[in-house]
Amino acid sequence: MFFLDPMYFVFALPALILAFYAQWRVKSAYNKWLRVRNTRGLTGMQAAKMLLNYNNLGHISIEGTPGALTDHYDPRTQTMRLSPDVANSNSVAAVAVVAHEIGHAVQDAEAYVPMKVRSAIVPGVQIGSWLGPILFFIGFLMAGYFRSAIGYQIAWLGVLFFSGALVFAFATLPVEFNASARARAMLTDAGLIYQDEMNGVRSVLDAAALTYVAAAAQALSTLLYYVFLLGGFRRRN
């Protein structure tokens, strides 16, 4: 019933458009610069090893991971996982992605506070992101159709649980922005990227950052819609 409510689109559509645009920008920038060879001819795997040593992080292991744009750093096992396109490519895009993930490894090594905060709230967010909407819909239906006061309270409890997803989305922003800033600096300082290639690095990293902004916008729009529905219900009653 909620997706048939015109007001749902008022809240959700701008964030949805931003999400589609962000995904298009990521794929466009990544595919463009994946075809551009970096001057030093380094593959993503070679760049990863060099940058890890440059940052005194030679103890971190590097593994492959299936898929495209699935590259990530796992702080639990201190492992860098690279997709085939990144690990085997000597492109500007590959070294940009690698440097960003090593930026996360440096954050982990330095106990970067925003990263620690984000990691700390992950368990609660994992529960709240799926339990929150369930509680909200159950509570809203109970309050709307059965005039149950406790249903209204359950719906607000769902909003509270789901708000964790919004907190996580906004906590992610400084972590990702900082990792990209570290990536640009280390690529230049370590001499892996020359100045005329930095436009490609920025293009790839800025596009990726926009996806996190879009995720935060989607979480915010959903939460505002829930609050709008409950506010309208309260006025009617």
Q: In this predicted model, what pLDDT tens digit does every residue of 45-56 receive, in sequence order? A: 999 999 999 999
Give the pLDDT band of residue 106 (cuts 50, 70, 90): very high
Q: Which helix (H) or strand (E) holds 72?
A: strand 72-74
Q: Is the pLDDT of residue 234 over 70?
A: no
Q: Is the pLDDT of residue 235 over 60?
A: no
Active site residues: 101
CA 70/CA 203 separation, integer angstroms: 18
Q: In this predicted model, what pLDDT tens digit does every residue of 122-144 receive, in sequence order? A: 988 988 889 999 999 999 888 76
Output the pLDDT for position 97.
97
* Mean pLDDT (whole number) for 54-60: 96
Q: In this predicted model, what pLDDT tens digit does every residue of 154-207 receive, in sequence order? A: 999 999 999 999 999 999 999 999 999 999 999 999 999 988 899 999 999 999
* Mean pLDDT (whole number) for 35-64: 96
Give the pLDDT band of residue 233 (cuts 50, 70, 90): low
